[in-house]
Amino acid sequence: MLSKVAVVCSDNLAMFEFGVVCEVFGLDRSDVGLPVFDFRVCGAEPGRPLRSSTPGITVTPEHGLDELAGADLVAIPAFPYRGDDPDQRLVDAVRAAYEGGATVLTVCSGAFLAGAAGLLDGRTCTTHWRYTDILARLYPAATVDPDVLFVDAGRLITSAGTAAGIDACLHLVRRELGSEIANAIARRMVVPPQRDGGQRQFIERPVADSEATSLGATLAWMTEHLDRAHTVDELAARATMSARTFARRFVAETGTTPGKWLTTQRIHLARQLLEDTTLDLESVATRSGFGSAALLRHHFQRQVGLAPTAYRRRFGG
C-alpha cells in the first residue's frame, strides 16, 4: 500500500524535480475522490532553509530524516551531484529506509544518492542521459540504461531527466493503486498517463570532433555525403589506408563501426528534417541516405524509440 511519502531534500535542490514529486504525491485531491498521501518534506536539519538551484528560492523542510523510517515511499528529487561525496546523514537514512521496506524513487540525478546508499548494485537503473556515463563509472556493479524514461526494479525506481520523473511517479501510482487513480492524477496535471519512447529521442548525437581524430577529414566527407552509399573499401581509399587498417582505426577512434556510425549520423539528419521540414517520408529517407521510407522506419524506431511520423508530431516545428 502507498500511504506515507517522504521526500529527501538537500542544498541546491532542483525545483522542477522537487515540484514533480509534490504535484503527484503532495496535493490534496480528495475533492475528486483521490487518496491523500501522508506527505513529508525531510532534511538533515529540519527548519533550516535549503538553497534551491533557482536563485532567490529556498525550501524549508519541516521534518527530519527520522521520518524516512516507516515511509512507504522515499522520493529523491534531482540530487546536486558535483563529484564529491553526498551528506552521509542522507546516505544512511535512505539506506535504512530501504532496508526497512520502503520503495525508493529517484528523479534525474537523484540516482547518485541511491547509488551512494548501495541501492544500485546488481540492478538496472537510469538517470538523465548527460550523467549515465558518470553513474556507470561510479557504480560499476549497476547496469545503467541510457535509453529509457524510467526503470522499475521493484522497490527501486529510477527515472531520467526532469519530466521523466512524472512518468516514474505515475507509473508507481498505477502499480500500487491502479490505473484509474493514476489516470485521474494525470488528467489533473494535464499530462499523458503514459508516454511512449525513451530518452533516446531527446539525446543529441554530435558528429565526432574532426580535430580529435586522424580520420577527421574522412568523417567530415561522410557527414556531407550521407545520401550516398559507402563501402569500407571506398572510405579506406579516401583515408589512404588499407580496408583492414581503416576498419580497425575507425573503431578505435569513434568507438563503433563505419556502418553503425553512418546509421547514427543518418538518423540525426532524419530527425532534423522531420523537425524542420514538411518533406514526406520517402524524401526524408532519400536525403538522409536510407533510400526508402521502410528502411528509415526500421532504423529510426530502433535508435530513437519512436516511429518517424510520431517523432514529427511531437517535435516538428
| pLDDT confidence band for 252 (50 / 70 / 90) | confident
Q: How far apart are the first and last CA of the chain?
A: 43
Phi-psi region of 104 (alpha: psi -120 to 50; beta: other; left: phi over 0): beta
Domain range summary for the chain, segments of one domain joined by +: 4-201, 210-315
For residues 251 and 117, give the distance between their C-alpha atoms in angstroms, rounded to a whole number: 36
Residue 209: pLDDT above 50? Answer: no
pLDDT of 236 reads 93
For residues 57 and 12, give the distance between their C-alpha atoms in angstroms, rounded to a whole number: 10
Residue 316: pLDDT above 80? Answer: no
**Could you tell me which residues are beta bridge partners of residue 105?**
75, 157
| pLDDT confidence band for 205 (50 / 70 / 90) | low
pLDDT of 203 reads 64
Residue 1: pLDDT above 70? Answer: yes
Please say whether the beta carbons of 10 and 67 come within 8 A. Answer: no
Tens digits of per-residue pLDDT, 109-151? Answer: 999 999 999 999 999 999 998 899 999 999 999 999 998 889 9
Three cell numbers at 119?
A: 541501492
pLDDT of 210 reads 42
For residues 142 and 158, give the distance between their C-alpha atoms in angstroms, rounded to a whole number: 12
Q: Which 3 state secondary structure label does DSSP give 57? A: coil
Q: Which residue has the cell 561525496?
A: 85
Please say whether the beta carbons of 64 and 44 come within 8 A. Answer: yes
Going by the DSSP 8-state scheme, the letter that residue 50 receives in this structure is: E
Instruction: For domain 4-201, give the CATH superfamily.
Output: Class I glutamine amidotransferase (GATase) domain (3.40.50.880)
The count of other CB atoms within 10 Å of the CB of residue 155 is 15
- Top pLDDT among 304 and 34 is at 34
| pLDDT confidence band for 201 (50 / 70 / 90) | low
Number of H helices and E strands in the chain, helices first, is 13, 11
Average pLDDT over residues 290-310: 91
pLDDT of 317 reads 63
For residues 31 and 145, give the distance between their C-alpha atoms in angstroms, rounded to a whole number: 39
- The region of weakest confidence among 35-39, 73-77, 123-127, 213-217 is 213-217
Q: Which residues of 295-305 are buried (b: 16+ CB within 10 A; e: fewer)?
A: ebbebbeebbb
Average pLDDT over residues 197-222: 66
pLDDT of 288 reads 94
Tens digits of per-residue pLDDT, 76-118? Answer: 999 777 666 789 999 999 999 999 999 999 999 999 999 999 9
Give me the count of residues in the chain.
317
Residue 282: pLDDT above 90? Answer: yes
Residue 170: pLDDT above 80? Answer: yes
CA 68-130-287 angle, to 5 degrees, is 140
Q: Do domains 4-201 and 210-315 have the same CATH topology?
A: no
pLDDT of 200 reads 67
Cα–Cα distance list, 172 to 33, 39, 148, 248, 286 (Å): 19, 15, 16, 46, 42
The CATH number of the structural domain formed by 210-315 is 1.10.10.60
Q: Name the pTM for this structure.
A: 0.70
| pLDDT confidence band for 306 (50 / 70 / 90) | confident
